[in-house]
Amino acid sequence: MSINEKKALRNIALERDYLPSGMDEAAFSAAVAELERSGLVKAAFSEGGSVVDARLTQHGKTYLETNPELRNPLDWARIGAVAAPSRLW
């Protein structure tokens, strides 16, 4: 999840009706669209693509309850590949 998606998700969860700090309307709309594709929010968009309304889905509420800090999971496969000793024969 990107930083913009995290900011948008927090704003939606807190039912704020303004853009997150440092985010323009286009970036917010793109973040909300991605959150909707992930099933975390349900959103309504205007014909121009701006967000008209957005609400958390049950999946979004559960996600925030289990991951309140919105930390991305570690990629253990990548960590293992980097940490594994290489064989240079």
pLDDT bucket at 15, cuts 50 / 70 / 90: very high
| DSSP string over 53-82 | EEEE-HHHHHHHHH-TT-PPPP-HHHHHHH
pLDDT bucket at 89, cuts 50 / 70 / 90: low
Determine the length of the chain: 89
Q: What is the pLDDT of residue 75?
A: 72
Please report the sign of the dihedral spanned by the C-alpha atoms of residue 9, residue 47, residue 25, residue 14: negative
Q: What is the pLDDT of residue 5?
A: 95
d(CA 81, CA 37): 30
Query: For the chain, what is the mean pLDDT?
Result: 89
- The verdict on pTM exceeding 0.85 is no
Using one digit for the tens of pLDDT, what is the confidence trace for 38-81? 999 999 999 999 999 999 999 999 999 998 888 877 777 777 77
